[in-house]
Structure 1
Amino acid sequence: MVTLYVGSSESFAGKTLLCIVLGLRFKTAGLRVAYFKPLGLMPTRVEGVTTDEDAAFVNEVLALGQSPDSLSGALVSPDIMAQAFRAQKIDVEAAIMKAFKSLSQHADIVLVGGLGSVLYTGMAVGLPTGRVTDMLDAQALLIGKYRDERSVDAMLAAHDVLGDRAVGLIINEVPENQLAYVRETVIPFFQRRGIEAIGALPRDQILNSLSVRELADTLNAEVLCCQEDVDELVEHFSVGAMSVESALRYFRRSPNKAVITGGDRSDLQLAALETSTRCIVLTGDLRPDPRILSRAQEKRVPLLLTRDDTLTTVERIERVLGRLRVREQKKIRRAMELANEHLDLLRLEEKLGLAR
């Protein structure tokens, strides 16, 4: 059996989505796959059992059929953190090992989802990444988000934490205008340092999009119409606070967008509905004119009503962007396409001893 720990140099770098991509690939190859998250952070209830939300989602998407109590060893709750701060004994290792041994009995490969950053997450409760990989005797795959050259330092530090257990590095979220530089300069730099680079993934508009449903949840907004279209993905955001003539030119530049505007700006709302718009966010708790509601229903464009003003709404959206959790099938399909195009997954399989 192979155990592969997927960790990252920072939070929200793409660990869960990478586990899904690898899990789908390994299942297609006929391997028995299991998923495990030693430390969970986001509790959810499944069949009356409290487990980690990401782990439950991976179990569902990969159709693993694992029992909820086998998906995560322990949840990093406020109670556990309080015990750590008071120097009280915290014994979650036994729970982690019990769950891991149970799920791994009938698996060819166990994908282990890391929590937060390899560099620091888990230290307060006595379970840093190095301790977890040793406990599970896991090989480790590192994924790092690339912004600029300074991102390399974090990846190097994270790779040092993983040590000899590291089998490869995936560089994620590379801006399109830096992709050639990363491939021609940064990857050879890593390779000269003995770090196996599996590939670089470009920043992708679909993967960084937000569904209308997520947007409504983020803003605590009321969906006034077109509930059946809330799973559509928003790829751009436009703020409407100009003349109609300027707005039309502005709106036409951005497809698949959400338009944020005051609930009293019927002129801008009508302009938005004549362009490629996924939803309109009406701010200030001002309900739209009946004509707008009717036209939105014709165009199948959800209207979201929020109590916040436009500035506050924009700030709330900015806070959630870059911290998205993948839950849409369209994103998973896109991730598979990108992985097959940009990653040397055969090399990864060779490193894991899974080469076909």
Structure 2
Amino acid sequence: MNILLVVSENQGDGKTAISLTLAHQVANLGKKVTVIKPFGSKNELGDDSDLSVFASLVGSKPPEWPMELPESGLIDGRGKPYKALKDVKNELTKIAQRHDLVIVEISSKMPQEEQVGIAEFLEAKVLAVIRHKHALKTKKIKQHLVSFGQNLSGVLINARTKYTSHEVQTSFIPELEDLNIKVFGTIPEDRKLLSATVDQVVEHLNGEYFLKINERSSELIENFLVGGWTMDDGSLYFSTKDNKAVITRGDRPDLQMSALNTKTACLIMTKGINPIEYVEYEAQEEGVSIVVVDKDTLNTMESLDSLINVAKFDHKLKLERLHELIQSEVDSNSLLDAIGIAS
């Protein structure tokens, strides 16, 4: 039974993204793999987005999962498993018989001792995901990692910013290796992975579609440009970025037309002002959605600051991009060997 637990100390470190992309990589080798999230907190149970992503990208899940974490926990005071965990192991055993690898994502809300107990009871390998932050010290995460003992296969460092590359390579990784912890690689922060779809941006801004191009509503927006904040020619300015949304006042058809002459995913018109008929016609011809929001341009931009906090790993292009990054930045052969998959 080849089971890999994917764990992290904090929510949002990237467990789901890593789990799904690793499954994608293993499947490309002709292996049978599935991703499962058997337990969740009440809040996590109310949000089934992870489960729908699992289903769309790597196959369906057992319909009765995830189950809520029992108040009594999964492991008793003597380190013995309760019935809920025994039931999960029985089900995983059946699933593992049909797969070369079963990836199990463990909720970060689960107590550390329970995560360790689950790894031991399932005799599972463990891959830890660490979201790197500036000045992160190994002493802050040491206990989380070493507590898994021999079950820990190694770690992946995720979302390393451009300006911490030297710090990670010369300090953070060597400190982990001094603890005999294998570091498979470092995945840099990436704009596409932090992007949101047109629909998600509209929802985040509490906007309304004036014109919706349905076939582009799931297109990823990686850049936001504001009309009127440059002295350059509008078309020249707007052509500096692709995969973008352009934000401008609703009463600036000159800027809107300039944006429509470039590769634009949608126009966001502020102050609740609808576009003139000619702009609507051109947007329809170019296949560009028009969104109207009540806030002014400055407040709209401020609202977008928090968009990154709700970005999810829920798009095929994100899966493809993370796969590319893992191929280039991670020692994939060592990682696959460590989790029992011959590359």
Choose from 147, 162, 174 the match for 2:133. 147
- Residue matched to 2:195: 209
Q: The residue matched to 1:34 in structure 2 has which SS? A: strand
Residue 74 (str. 1) matches residue 61 (str. 2)? no
- Residue matched to 1:264: 251
Gaps of 5+ in 2: 74-81
Residue 200 (str. 1) matches residue 186 (str. 2)? yes
Distance 1:245 1:22, change over 3 A: closer
Distance between the aligned counterparts of 2:66 and 2:123, measured in 1?
A: 16
- Residue matched to 1:122: 110
- Residue matched to 1:47: none
Residue 55 (str. 1) matches residue 36 (str. 2)? no
- Residue matched to 1:11: 11
1:108 maps to a residue whose letter is: D
- Residue matched to 2:175: 189
Choose from 220, 244, 255 the match for 2:206. 220
Distance between the aligned counterparts of 1:243 and 1:334, measured in 2?
A: 31
Choose from 95, 100, 110 the match for 1:103. 95
- Residue matched to 1:296: 283
Question: Is 1:145–1:151's contact at 8 Å kept on the other side of the alignment?
Answer: no
Distance between the aligned counterparts of 2:55 and 2:97, measured in 1?
A: 17
Distance between the aligned counterparts of 2:286 and 2:153, measured in 1?
A: 50
**Normalised by the size of structure 2, how large is the TM-score?**
0.83
- Residue matched to 2:78: none
Distance between the aligned counterparts of 1:73 and 1:19, measured in 2?
A: 16
Distance 1:52 1:252, change over 3 A: closer
Q: Measure how far apart 1:73 and its partner are.
A: 3.5
Alignment of 1:302-321 (within 5 A): 302-321=289-308
Residue 29 (str. 1) matches residue 29 (str. 2)? yes
Distance between the aligned counterparts of 1:242 and 1:66, measured in 2?
A: 48
Distance 1:294 1:162, change over 3 A: farther
Q: Measure how far apart 1:216 and its partner are.
A: 1.9
Distance 1:326 1:73, change over 3 A: closer
1:59 maps to a residue whose letter is: A
Q: Measure how far apart 1:347 and its partner are.
A: 0.9
Residue 136 (str. 1) matches residue 122 (str. 2)? yes
- Residue matched to 2:225: 238
Question: Is 2:20–2:35's contact at 8 Å kept on the other side of the alignment?
Answer: no
Q: The residue matched to 2:159 in structure 1 has which SS? A: strand
Question: Is 1:226–1:300's contact at 8 Å kept on the other side of the alignment?
Answer: yes
2:245 maps to a residue whose letter is: A
Alignment of 1:169-184 (within 5 A): 169-184=155-170
Deviates further, 140-149 or 171-180 = 171-180
Q: Measure how far apart 1:200 and its partner are.
A: 0.7
Question: Is 2:138–2:175's contact at 8 Å kept on the other side of the alignment?
Answer: no
Distance between the aligned counterparts of 1:153 and 1:262, measured in 2?
A: 50
Distance 1:350 1:101, change over 3 A: closer
Question: Is 2:230–2:237's contact at 8 Å kept on the other side of the alignment?
Answer: no
String of CA shifts for 1:281-308, please: whole Å, max 9, x gaps. Answer: 1223221111221222233221112234
Distance between the aligned counterparts of 2:241 and 2:90, measured in 1?
A: 51
Distance 1:351 1:176, change over 3 A: same
Distance between the aligned counterparts of 2:83 and 2:90, measured in 1?
A: 12
Distance 1:28 1:149, change over 3 A: same
Q: The residue matched to 1:277 in structure 2 has which SS? A: coil
Distance 1:164 1:313, change over 3 A: farther
Distance between the aligned counterparts of 2:140 and 2:247, measured in 1?
A: 36
2:95 maps to a residue whose letter is: L
Distance between the aligned counterparts of 2:295 and 2:110, measured in 1?
A: 36
Question: Is 1:73–1:95's contact at 8 Å kept on the other side of the alignment?
Answer: no
Q: The residue matched to 1:5 in structure 2 has which SS? A: strand
- Residue matched to 1:87: none
- Residue matched to 2:274: 287
Q: The residue matched to 2:265 in structure 1 has which SS? A: strand
Distance 1:161 1:291, change over 3 A: farther
Residue 343 (str. 1) matches residue 339 (str. 2)? no
Question: Is 1:74–1:95's contact at 8 Å kept on the other side of the alignment?
Answer: no
Aligned positions, number: 332
Distance between the aligned counterparts of 1:269 and 1:154, measured in 2?
A: 49
1:297 maps to a residue whose letter is: Q
**Normalised by the size of structure 1, how large is the TM-score?**
0.80
